[in-house]
Each structure stands twice: as C-alpha cells, then as structure tokens.
Homo-oligomer: A and B are copies of this chain.
C-alpha cells in the first residue's frame, strides 16, 4: 500500500489493528503509548512523532519500504544512466 499522507498511515494502522483484533488499549500498551495517542494517530494526526509511529508499525508487523522513482528509471540497466545530476551541475546558474 502506498503511504502518502498521515491519513494513509492512520487507516493503515487501524485496519491492521482491527484485522489482528486488538483493542486500542492493547496496541497502546504494546507500543508503550497512551490509548489516546492511538486514537489520534488513527485519525491521521500529522504531528505524531516518527519514532513512535515506527514502533507502532513494527508492533503491528507492518514493514515500510522507500523507493526513489527516477532511480530505477526507464532503463533497467545502469548502462544508459543519464546522471541528471551532472547535467544540472554543469548547467547550474549563478546563485542569486
């Protein structure tokens, strides 16, 4: 599942929790946070701390993957890698 917003995280966690048939309090205890925090997290609280969020995901058995789109570009092989960096570098304008 794609995770783009905090609401995504919220529903992801809630779905996973209900799927495991855990109560909010049970999850909160396992993670080491208050039940209220779980409530807010599931509602998509954008100010939740990542450390706690990662702990929660781990507790639920959810794995996170990060991928850089242009990294595996049109060409699967690195032979034709264009290195946009170098192009931009050579063409970089005088800083304002």
Residue A51, interface by CB 8 Å:
yes
Complex contact A3–B65 (CB within 8 A): yes
Contacts of A82 in B (CB 8 A): none
For the complex formed, measure the closest distance between the CB of A20 and the CB atoms of chain B, giving whole angstroms.
Answer: 7
Given A51-B47, A53-B50, CB of A65 within 8 Å of CB of B2:
yes
Alpha-carbon distance between A18 and B54 when the two chains are bound, in angstroms: 25
Alpha-carbon distance between A54 and B51 when the two chains are bound, in angstroms: 13
For the complex formed, measure the closest distance between the CB of A14 and the CB atoms of chain B, giving whole angstroms.
Answer: 12
Known: A19-B85, A49-B49, A60-B68. 19 other contacts (CB 8 A): A1-B65, A1-B66, A2-B63, A2-B65, A3-B54, A3-B66, A4-B54, A5-B54, A6-B50, A6-B54, A9-B50, A21-B88, A21-B89, A47-B49, A47-B50, A48-B50, A62-B68, A64-B64, A65-B66
